[in-house]
Every structure is written in C-alpha cells, then in structure tokens.
Amino acid sequence: MTHLTEKRNVSDYYTHEIEKMANKPTWQWSANEIIVAIRKKKISAVEVIESICARMDAINPQLNAVVESLADKAIARARVLDQSSSSDKPLYGIPITIKINIDQVGFATSNGLPALKDFIADQDAPFVKNMEDAGAIVIGRTNTPEFSFRADTDNPLHGRTFNPWGRHISAGGSSGGAGAAVIAGIGALAHGNDIGGSLRFPASANGAVTVKPGLSRVPAWNPSQKSTERGLLAQSMSVQGLITRTAEDLHLAMPIAIKHDPRDPFHAPLPWRGDQLPRPIKVGYCKDDFGLGIHPDVTAALDAAAKALEDAGFVIEEVNPPLAQECGEVAFRTLMGEVNALMSRDIETLGSDELQSIFDEYYQLFPPYEGSELIRMMAQRSHYARQWSLFLEKYPLVLTPFLLQPFFGPGRDTEGSEGVREVMGHSLWSYVFNFTGLPAGNLPTRITKLNDGLQPIGVQIAGRRWREDLIVDAMVAIEQRIKPACHTLWETMNTLDEKTHR
C-alpha cells in the first residue's frame, strides 16, 4: 500500500503543478499550493492576501460566514512578511480565519452572545499564537451559534451563516462560519473547535475536510477566562482544530497547531507523525444505524469511501465496534448533566429564548445525569475509552457514518422534538469520539441531488489515540480517487467573474 505522503514529496509535487495553478484564481489555491508558489517567488504574500480579501468582499455578503473582516490588518501583516526574511516559515502567507469563540488580541471573544460583544481579548489563545508564529495571516473571524452549542449557526449578535451550496442546507455548527468560509474560498485554512461534532458537522454540511484531534493533542485555553476554568468534561471533550478543502492541507497545518504551549498544562507535546504501522492497515467498516435508519445516500458515501480505501491498499473488514450506541448516548447525557450543573444560569440570563427552547429539547432527548450519577458516568468514560483502545489494536482505523441522514436544513433544531431528534439524535457516532477522546476525521465522498438541490455527504474515519496522521493519510488516499467536493461547488456557485477574484 502506498500513501501520497510516502510515494512523493508533496512540495515537489506542487512545484510541478505551478503552471496549472496559474489557470485558476488564487482563492481556489490550497494552502500547499500557496506556500510553494510563494517560495518559488511566483506570488507574494500581499498578492495572496489581497486576492483572498477580494474574494471575501465579493462572496461573504451572501454567506455571513466571516463576521469581522481583518482585511486591512491582514494586508499590512503580509506586507511586513514580504519585507522580512521569513519565507521559510511553514505557513508563510497562508490566509486563515479564526472562530469568534477563542481569544485573539484586540477582538471580542463573543461566542455569539450580544452580552459579550465588547469582551475584548488582551492575549492570543495558543492556537492563534501557533498559527501566527508560523506565518499564517488571519483575514477574519467566523460566526458561531450562541455559546457554540448548536449544530446550526445562527445568533442574535451576527445572524445566520448560509451554506455556499444553497439555503436548503444548514451551514452546520458550531464552526459553521469556518466551514462555509473555507469551502467558498475565504481562506485556505479555517479554525474551529469540537465538543460534540463542531468541526465535523460543518465539514459534512459544506463538503469540507477536517480531523477532530484527540484529547490533549492541540493546546487550548482562552486567557480571558482568567482563573475560571471550564467543566471537567468540557475540558476532556472539547478540542481545537482546522477545517480545510483538502486533506493534504491538514498534513501541512496540523503539525503547527499541536505545537506546545505551557498555558495548557495537560497538552501532550508529541510529534505529528507516529511510527509506521505494518502494512496493509486494517480498516473496520461499520454502518450501524442504531435502529434509527440510514439514508441510501449515506450508505453510498460510505461504500464509496470503503472502495477508495481498498483500492489504495487498505484491508476493509465489516465490524461491530464496542458499545457505540451506548457510548454515544451516555456521552451526550453526561455532557448535558455538566452543562445543566455549571452553565444553566448563564444560558437562562445570556441566551435567547430560542436557545433556551433548544436546550429544553436537548434535555428531553438526552436527560441529563445529576448528582452522584453524573460523577459516576464521568468516571465511566475510562471504560468506553478502554474498550475502544482494545478494538483499535486490531483495526487502527474505523470507517463509520457521521450523520445517518443527509444534512438537515437551516433552523431544523428549532422545530421541536422531531427537529432536535433529526439533528442530534442521528449523530450519535459523533459523540462517541469526543467522549473517548479519540481522533476522528470527516470528508465528503458523495454529492447527491435531493429535492432542493445538490449537497455533499460526509463520512467519518476515526483512529487510534495520537494517530491523527493515519486518519489524514486515509483521507488523502480517498481524495486521490474521489475529487474534493469544492471543485463541484465552484462549478455550480453563482459567483462573480473569476477575474475579480484573481
């Protein structure tokens, strides 16, 4: 079996692709393509950022993905970089967006709440620092729902984010602004985070690519928290990460995201690449729908991913992973228990009536554990994580659904119990990997036409602890056989003349 990263040098590959790159607008370039073009002096950082900011100005009014433009600041930073001798920085000149729920000096960490619109950060979060130290340039801050606690992105402060595929599909959440921005060409990288699927929901919705890192992989902390810490389960389930258009860009940027920062005392400073495993690698393949039903398009997307992996030399075996449904249900009930205990007053005083109604439905669907039972179920995480660790000894990767149905429409979780059941009840596979602290990737392997138009269908690939690199390798192998969804999107989007965005 061969992976792209093993059979060729990625930088050399893109060097040979430079002539082809000249035939498409800069905003369509991947992060790998941008870095090679800059190093070969085919383009400057200023030219890259000016192009991306022009794209943002043109397309963002239709999407409301970026809610704070940093265009002027970004161009000024690019100019400084071009005048320096920093072109060897690993992310030199790469445009990135940052979600409005982490700290960035001089900007509000609003988390989608009107009450926090003036809550200005005076330090950068570790993720922002790592990206900027490596030469990435922040071009804007992206939208999130209130408290970053919905799988759809809308809030009273900035309004709704729309999906570039059309208004028949939610942009996902909570990193919906990030997913919509990156797939539409507003930046090559998009920051997001994930406590129950908030990187993977938007990746699925928008046809983008992500890998949710495992527990302690990426340093995380908001200095604006001061001495107030998040709940223990939130600390254990929430991670910072990236949404991109191609899996290869994760191999470029995630090694920067995981750089150590002592402000996260539980960060594990391990290298991005682990030891090479014996070939062929076994992939456990599971389509368990937990009795809820699985849509034929989701099945087709999973089969396409399995076929692509098999073609790449992986061994695919159908499996029944341990305690998946139980783990997913316990995960969300436990998380709701901690939220109810620690955040209910904030949700009541700072959240909108709509958000409070959604939480009422969450609590009905996933009754929160309370008291000693909550403590006991938090401890039970180790049991589920252990069972999965043993399972992954035989199958280093596992291919599963992410959502059991095609992505839902905007505001579906505001439509009572049935709406919340479709949004959250059909995503148990997501919560499994937050609760166990395991890494899980998501990428589109099918584009389907349903009643209201085209939409991508994403699948999930999870893996061993600390082995995000294996997951990304598998996604690269799939992308060599199934073209990234962004190409189909760009062919169908109603955009301005390409020359405007060059």
State the Cα–Cα distance between residues 60 and 161, nearest whole angstrom. 10
The CATH code of the domain at 10-501 is 3.90.1300.10
pLDDT at 423: 97
**Pair 463, 396: CB distance under 8 Å:** yes
Half-sphere exposure of 350 (CA within 13 A, CB side): 18
DSSP H helices in 152-279:
176-183, 200-206, 232-237, 247-257
Looking at residue 170, what DSSP letter applies? B
Question: What are the CA-CA distances from residue 78 to residues 48, 72, 96, 119, 225 (Å)?
Answer: 9, 10, 12, 27, 30
Looking at residue 228, what DSSP letter applies? P
Question: What are the CA-CA distances from residue 97 to residues 133, 184, 254, 295 (Å)?
Answer: 15, 12, 15, 33
φ, ψ for residue 126, nearest 5 deg: -55, -40
174 catalytic, yes or no?
Answer: yes
Residue 318 CA, distance from chain mean position? 27
42 catalytic, yes or no?
Answer: no
- Per domain, the residue ranges of the chain are 10-501
Half-sphere exposure of 64 (CA within 13 A, CB side): 15
Which entry of 148, 174, 216, 352 is annotated as an active-site residue?
Answer: 174
Which entry of 30, 51, 99, 216 is annotated as an active-site residue?
Answer: 99
Pairing of strands 440-450, 397-401: unpaired
pLDDT at 499: 36
State the Cα–Cα distance between residues 148 and 92, nearest whole angstrom. 30
State the Cα–Cα distance between residues 242 and 191, nearest whole angstrom. 5
Which entry of 110, 148, 198, 352 is annotated as an active-site residue?
Answer: 198
Looking at residue 264, what DSSP letter applies? S
Find the helix or strand (DSSP H, E) in which 139 lies: strand 137-142
pLDDT at 1: 40
State the Cα–Cα distance between residues 128 and 165, nearest whole angstrom. 29
Pairing of strands 315-318, 66-69: unpaired
**Pair 458, 302: CB distance under 8 Å:** no
**Pair 445, 483: CB distance under 8 Å:** no
The sheet with strand 397-401 has its strands ordered as: 66-69, 137-142, 95-99, 189-194, 239-244, 209-212, 440-450, 453-463, 397-401, 282-285, 315-318
Residue holding tokens 């009754």? 367
- Residue 488 has a CB neighbour count (10 Å cut-off) of 16
Q: What's the token pair of residue 107?
A: 């900007």
Q: List, run by run, the mean pLDDT of 10-residue segments along the chain (502 residues).
A: 49 72 93 96 97 98 98 98 88 98 98 98 98 98 98 98 97 98 98 98 98 98 94 97 98 98 98 98 98 98 98 98 98 98 97 98 98 98 98 98 98 98 97 98 97 94 98 98 97 54 39
SS3 track for 437-448: CCCEEEEEEEEE
pTM of the model: 0.96
**Pair 178, 190: CB distance under 8 Å:** yes
Residue 230 CA, distance from chain mean position? 21
Looking at residue 108, what DSSP letter applies? B
259 catalytic, yes or no?
Answer: no
Examine residue 145 and say whether the peptide bond preceding it is cis (omega within 30 degrees of 0).
no
Looking at residue 406, what DSSP letter applies? S
What are the start-end ranges of the E strands in 403-472? 440-450, 453-463
Cβ contacts of 50-53, under 8 Å, gap ≥ 24: 50/75, 50/78, 51/25, 51/26, 51/27, 51/501, 51/502, 52/26, 52/27, 52/95, 52/139, 52/185, 52/186, 52/187, 52/188, 53/139
Q: Is the dihedral of CA 436, 360, 64, 450 positive or negative?
A: positive
Q: Which residue type sits at 224?
A: S
